[in-house]
Amino acid sequence: MSKIVFPENIGVTSYGTVRLGKNFIADGNDRTGKARIRIQTHAHKDHTDKWIRNIRPGRALLTSKPTLAILSLEYPHVNINSNIHTLANSEKVLSKDLIQENFLQGKNIENAEISLFDANHMVGSSQVFIKNQDTGLSVLYSGDIGWPLEIIPKADVLVLDATYSRIKTDENKEWERKDAISKILTLVSSNLATQPIYIYARYGVMQEIVEKIIENIDSEINFVASDEIIKKTEIIAKFKSSTPINFKKEEDKYELNNVIHLKEFHKKQNESLSGLNITITNFRSQNTSPDKVVDNDYQNIVIALTNHASGDEIAKYIECVDPKYVITDSFRNSTNAQILADEITKKFKIPAIPSILSSVWKD
């Protein structure tokens, strides 16, 4: 593959910034100062480094309203509505034209056409499509994608999330989302009355589980959570028009029955609380999920439930995009990026490289 020349200025840098042409970056900071337009695919922390630097004159941030609402929890007083001046063509764009309730469609900026498409990964998450009007080259950054997807655009270059490396699933049936949800519901309903329940999950998946619990379990449940989780959950409820949850305060938890504590996924490492601990991991496992450890009054159950597309789904995605080149993301998953690129080359006969080999890696 080494003789094939990939288009310039496209790939992922060693610090996680996705480059989508000379003027465009996504999900990271621009250390070279080459690109002033940043697209933000979603609000998970491994994609949001220094996003605030693009909210100022001379720069621009393109994203969805829910994504911006979540990001803004970090900087509540940021002035999103200030004018943005893009210097290349003395163009002046208002940020309200770039951050919309619906996904941005066919916006012309810096000689390119930019569209965002739903990525079904979390509220507001998007795929990014950019077509350079001078060269005619189109590039698609998948961002983190779930499945199914309503729209998958065709593009010449695909920059692909590498969470799962195997595009071919083996003979074992995968542990599916619906298995995970029903397992969680069973655990919750059979333990709710007898012991406290702790659910550790990432943002997005957590709120999805809470919604399922409310829909399916017919008892009065007291949800307890940190201020941050409460605020983030309210943002999702607002954009999905679901019923807001009436949260209980941390300090009241000892007087409550039927309690479910919602906890940040990363806090699990330091905690073991007496009761039922359910940890929701991102891993796409085979039939082995869930794993269970019981230690006196402490019960720990790990369940796989991801909102990333599976290997099979990634294969369908690539088929739809029909790219001439594929670059996989080595920053967020370096081992998988290499394996996935090799599998794509083999299966689709498309030149594919991990981003560590892309021209922008050392930017």
Least distance (Å) between residue 120 CB and Zn ion? 11
Q: Which stretch, 144-152, 217-225, 280-288, 325-333, contacts Zn ion (CB under 5 A)?
A: 144-152
Q: Which of 27, 30, 110, 144 lies at the binding interface for Zn ion (CB under 5 A)?
A: 144
| Ramachandran angles phi, psi of 8, nearest 5° | -70, 155
For residues 93 and 109, the answer to whether their CB atoms sit within 8 Å is: yes
In angstroms, how far apart are the furthest CA atoms of the chain? 68
Binding-site residue total for Zn ion (CB under 5 A)? 2
Residue 145 CB, shortest distance to Zn ion, in Å, is 9
Quick check: 284 binds Zn ion (CB under 5 A)? Answer: no
Minimum CB separation from Zn ion for residue 307, in Å? 8
Residue 232 makes contact with Zn ion by CB under 5 A? no
Site for Zn ion in 9-68 (CB under 5 A): 44
The distance of closest approach from Cβ of residue 161 to Zn ion in the complex, given in angstroms and rounded to an integer, is: 8
Give the Cα separation of 247 and 262 in Å (integer). 10
Q: Give the residue from 277, 274, 349 showing the smallest Cα distance to 318.
A: 349
By the rule CB under 5 A, 332 interacts with Zn ion: no
Closest CA to 28 of 7, 5, 44: 44
Shortest reach from residue 325's CB to Zn ion, in Å: 24
3-state secondary structure of 140: strand
CA distance 352 to 341: 5
Q: What does DSSP say about strands 24-26 and 18-20: parallel, antiparallel, or unpaired?
A: antiparallel
**CA gap 7, 28 in Å, rounded:** 20
Range 208-227, binding Zn ion (CB under 5 A): none
What gap in Å lies between CA 267 and CA 206, rounded to an integer? 14
- Interaction of residue 329 with Zn ion, rule CB under 5 A: no
Name the segment binding Zn ion (CB under 5 A); options: 13-21, 23-31, 138-146, 167-175: 138-146
* CB of 263 or CB of 332, closer to Zn ion: 332
The answer to whether 31 touches 15, Cβ cutoff 8 Å, is yes
State the minimum distance, in angstroms, from the CB of residue 173 to Zn ion: 25
Q: Can residue 161 be called a binding residue for Zn ion (CB under 5 A)? A: no
**Closer residue to Zn ion (CB): 55 or 123:** 123
Examine residue 131 and tell whether it contacts Zn ion (CB under 5 A).
no
Q: Scanning the structure block, which residue is given the tokens 């039922």?
A: 276
Token match 């995968």: residue? 174
Q: Which residues bind Zn ion (CB under 5 A)?
A: 44, 144
